[in-house]
Structure 1
Amino acid sequence: MTAPARVTAPARTSAELIRAEEPVLAHNYHPLPVVVARAEGAWVEDVEGRRYLDMLAGYSALNFGHRHPALVEAAHRQLDRLTLTSRAFHNDRLAEFAERLAGLTGLDMVLPMNTGAEAVESGVKVARKWAYEVKGVPADRATIVVAADNFHGRTTTIVSFSTDETARSGFGPFTPGFRIVPYNDLAALEEAVDETTAAVLIEPIQGEAGVVIPDDGYLTGVRELTRRKGALFIADEIQSGLGRTGRTLAVEHEGVVPDVVLLGKALGGGIVPVSAVVARRDVLGVLRPGEHGSTFGGNPLAAAVGTAVVELLEAGVFQRRAAELGTVLREGLAALVGRGVVGFRARGLWAGVDVDPAVGTGREIGERLLREGVLVKDTHGSTIRLAPPLTITEEELTAALGSLARVLA
């Protein structure tokens, strides 16, 4: 897709709009100083008409780019018909969405929610209910094993098992029932899982930690261990799923099928918040009316957009594109090692890039790239993440890597 045309000069400048936010908007983010006014494909435009190549894609929420025509059309069609009924009634879009999403993941049932954090919270509840009703864990004794350096969201329960003190400090008391083990350590996981364990909840690739990819065989080991010990394997694919890594789900790189998959971000196509718990029938089947719900979960607009997202993925074109352009990304980053980059991890169109601290922090690199017309976001220390839309062209990706080379120099 081409970059968007310039827009008419705004009533207020970027600087004025940023200053206007300061007294009225909670300071829970530290965004780069750019005010986006419109976007298309892999490009965004600020209020003054300056254009930027988006190499973050809404933390993978925009896998299909900004305003993908098929997704926008699906939303427009549904807006003219029906947007919300609540789950007090059926709607004519939900069955197809659930059927096709279950088919895409190879699982049986779908619990639709809105945000990724809601999907994780729902997965935790379902796993505990399954432990009591199916596994026979004594009441209120169920445990869930998670990995250090995880990122599953920032709700109170989720930060209870975070190891990020920025997310945790000042928000206790915390929810009990979680055991934290090192990521990519099967021996530690084996020791932590016992007769009270409802589930092992992990990210197949840890995104917020810097796109940390486990050793080959780790996911297979998690699947074998959980099956042997009678616990559920819950894969949080909210960032890694839906084409990002070159497969529909990141677990597919090892041919693994979890008991539960958590999806979000790209499932809403960058248009509406859509998330889902997708699981085996005997797992999600433990829920009964009144035990869990969401007014907006599974609403007709979300279901229409979500169905269009699934349709884009069913042909496998985006997955192949991410795999092919992932080679370009890896080769480009490999050429920068020793030239400001000290290491990187990449799978598909997703990379964590460790910059030499002498060159700058991740934030500083992001600010320099902003001046080059490229948008990225730092994570911890001197690490930046690259996650462009899967619609990016090879020429655009190569240009972004060229900009990175210039700011590192």
Structure 2
Amino acid sequence: MSYPLDLEQLALHIKQWGRDLGFQQVGICDTDLRAEEPKLQAWLEKQYHGEMDWMARHGMMRARPHELLPGTLRVISVRMNYLPAKAAFASTLKNPQLGYVSRYALGRDYHKVLRNRLKKLGEMIQAHCGELNFRPFVDSAPVLERPLAAKAGLGWTGKHSLILNREAGSWFFLGELLIDLPLPVDLPQQEQCGRCVACMTICPTGAIVEPYVVDARRCISYLTIELEGAIPEALRPLIGNRIYGCDDCQLICPWNRYGQLTDEPDFSPRAVLHAPQLIDLFQWDEAKFLRVTEGSAIRRIGHLRWLRNVAVALGNAPWSEDNVAALTLRRGEHPLLDEHIDWAIAQQLQKRAAQAIEVQPAQKQRLVRAVEKGLPRDA
């Protein structure tokens, strides 16, 4: 390949084209991730990947982008904001009768949005150069996207393992474009978490086992999205009303005071998912689930796991006869679902019993007052 003479100028063009396509930032790095290989190996050996067998199956290829596209010399890393206006974090999380969906999943599936834009960016570079081999990735291949983003200067790795940016916090998606051009590379940002461990202490399940290391087996995002079987019983009460993913480590992060709202229409929340009643969600049949989640990242977990997650949330909700009735109606549909329904009903009945014990003193006081007034004992 004969390269353009001014690669510095081409890099500037690429960054502007990326911004024109809707990316908030574009960075460039080489493919050398050898420093990440020992960390990845240690993480896999501790089984922190859980049932995500594909992570172990691909092994060190994740740290070797050039093996995915032979001839790759550079990685163009991009980020795109996704935080919607009126995200309603607190009002949804604090209402246990509502279901909380991680805010990245409220709109259209980001994989499709970013991949299409990255493909267009590759085509623009190709048209400029006349010849180019490129390949876009958005969680679609074994690539260590966060170390690449950090190396390309998009931010630094926070203690929750997500990429943080001074101007944008962490409310953004990442994507990569592998190319065979020796473009000039960008400088990494300095890590700026300091002594802060807010994300580690806020995690409901203690999944951030040490700075920068997440045990996926305890992470609510893994439990509600990646895990195909039963959610461990000890972790179910800790999930609360989170039915798809979790944002707690981002919500507590001081850098997210600078989080930027998205202006991407595809990431606008679907009203039916924004602050839904758990009982309503549990009544969806598969046809409605598929219809509502068409084009959404949520669809990938399927109807069964969706109901499993909602059943756990109903078990964590305050006692309600309506909750028990809704749970009971779906018994017998699938053994996996039955296990979580039975647990949820048991949780509900325990709360009813505890509630009865709590009101007894008040009932006694009313009885004493009734007797003193000479009223019937059932007044």
Query: Taking structure 2 as the reference length, what is the TM-score of the superposition?
Result: 0.23
Quick check: which one's strand share is greater? 1
Larger Rg: 2
Higher relative contact order (CA 8 A, sep 6+): 1
Quick check: which one's helix share is greater? 2
